């Protein structure tokens, strides 16, 4: 069992940066592939970024590649999402998730943190 808690969301202006954190409980954190997803009002939840178990390969949605960076610190049971050059279209609730494989990052979910980017 893994419990996830996101933090770091807020209201920023276009072009600003934010760093989201997701703290996980459980001693098996390093076993899981971790990811960030987001859901904007009236839209389906979408993939943002993922990172493998030991911080190796990462993947990103095309819309955030080059602006967002996912990382993890297994010693702290935490993953991060550094978001630079934020755009109004990045406005959404951001969720972190844990899964057993890159194709299935949906075993556990956090409650989400709101990111709002004003123009």
Of 115, 51, 50, 68, residue with least CA distance to 89: 115
Q: What pLDDT does 85 receive?
A: 98
The segments of the chain whose pLDDT lies below 70 read 27
Q: What pLDDT does 112 receive?
A: 97
* SS3 of residue 111 by DSSP: coil
What is the CA 88 to chain-centroid distance, rounded? 17
Q: What pLDDT does 26 receive?
A: 79
60, 65, 67, 72 alpha-carbon torsion, rounded to 10°: 30
How far apart CA 58 and CA 29 sit, in angstroms, is 17
Q: What pLDDT does 64 receive?
A: 98
The count of residues in the chain is 119
Q: What pLDDT does 51 receive?
A: 96
């Amino acid at each position: 069992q893994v419990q996830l808690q996101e933090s770091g969301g807020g209201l920023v202006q276009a072009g600003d940066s934010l760093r989201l954190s997701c703290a996980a409980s459980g001693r098996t954190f390093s076993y899981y592939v971790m990811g960030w997803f987001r859901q904007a009002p009236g839209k389906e939840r979408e993939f943002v970024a993922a990172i493998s178990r030991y911080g190796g390969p990462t993947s990103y949605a095309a819309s955030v590649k080059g602006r967002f960076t996912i990382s993890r610190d297994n010693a702290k049971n935490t993953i991060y999402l550094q978001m630079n050059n934020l755009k109004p279209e990045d406005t959404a609730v951001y969720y972190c998730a844990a899964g057993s494989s890159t194709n299935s990052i949906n075993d556990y979910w956090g409650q989400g943190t709101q990111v709002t980017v004003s123009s």
